[in-house]
Amino acid sequence: MGKMYDTLVKSRREQPQDTKQTDKSLFNKIFQTANEPESSDAHVKQQADSNAAVAQKPSAASSSLSIVSSEQYQKPAEESGIDPRIIVYYEPRSKEAEQFRILRARLRKFAQDKQHKILLVLGTCPQEGKSFIASNLAISIAQAGTSPVLLLDGDLRKPSLHKLFGLTAAKGLADYLAGNASFDEIVYLTDVAELYVIPAGDIPHNPAELIASDRMQLLFNDIKTNSNFSTCWLTIDSPPVISTPEPAILIEHVDGFIYVIQADKTDKKLVKDSLVQIDTNKLLGVVFNRIAYQAHNYYYYTDKREK
């Protein structure tokens, strides 16, 4: 990569830094928990627990933002370009942000002993909150300060990460897979220290063919051999399983995936039907999204028993 990119990465990293395999039987039990109280909008049910192009997004503030300050001060939405719905960024002390830290902690075993951790975020249908979960989780992992995080928009049909991070008219994955952009040109710095985004780019007419192409494997090789990402988390936001073939292809490249289900909306039969299309041996756990918070069931409590 270019000197400008290397300098920005180096300046950030010099600042202070504050699977269990699952089979399909898990989903036979998932829906038995419908009446159990949950604690957050994103509560986890785990069975185990550029060169100049890359620097297209950096501002003076973003290049100097440290891991520590990222949870103490955030720029207003209109200045950062990050969507206000990214709760981990704007309200890191909220109960919802805490649930993403719990999810991050429960993925620790999955990440253990892996130089590169490739995680896919899946769901059954559109509008279940996959991009919301993937984005907040990626920021939470980046805030831990242990390794850089690369967030990839693998949905070449209806992408959203470029909007969530203010990367309009950006080259991305589709351009790379079509041979119209280099790796350096599709990686963008964000206003979160150690978090980088690869947007979807121009929407192609043949998304499945591009995802299945040799260029997709070349992208993973580029990431693994790049000195700036010698150890990193790669989190991929996937298109929905039930209507597209891409998730089954992406699963071949990843170490594991989490499955997003929207509470009280996702159809049970559709979830079960989607399992036939994917390899569930890499399933790490399930995230129930948009669940009403009940304060009395919050995980943290104080023991006030009299002595």
What's the pLDDT score for residue 111? 79
What's the pLDDT score for residue 292? 61
Per-residue pLDDT for 159 more than 90? yes
pLDDT tens profile 161-194: 999 999 887 799 999 999 999 999 999 999 999 9
- Mean pLDDT of the residues in the chain: 76
From first CA to last CA, the distance across the chain in angstroms is 63
In what helix (H) or strand (E) does residue 118 lie, and over which residues does it extend?
A: strand 116-123
Domains and CATH numbers, the chain: 3-71+86-294 (3.40.50.300)
Tell me whether residue 29 is exposed, middle or buried, using C-beta atoms within 10 angstroms of its C-beta: 0 to 12, 13 to 18, 19 or more.
Answer: exposed
Per-residue pLDDT for 2 more than 50? no
Tokens at 116, concatenated: 């590169």
The phi and psi torsions of 285 (rounded to 5 degrees) equal: 170, 180
How confident is residue 146, by pLDDT bands cut at 50, 70 and 90? confident
Tell whether pTM > 0.85. Answer: no
d(CA 284, CA 50): 33
pLDDT tens profile 36-88: 333 344 444 433 333 333 334 433 333 322 222 233 345 555 577 899 989 99
Per-residue pLDDT for 279 more than 60? yes
Q: Could you give the angle at the alpha carbon of 171 between the alpha carbons of 169 and 176, nearest 5°?
A: 160
Q: Name residue 288's beta-bridge partners.
A: 43, 261
**Strongest mean pLDDT among 11-25, 39-53, 66-80, 145-159:** 145-159
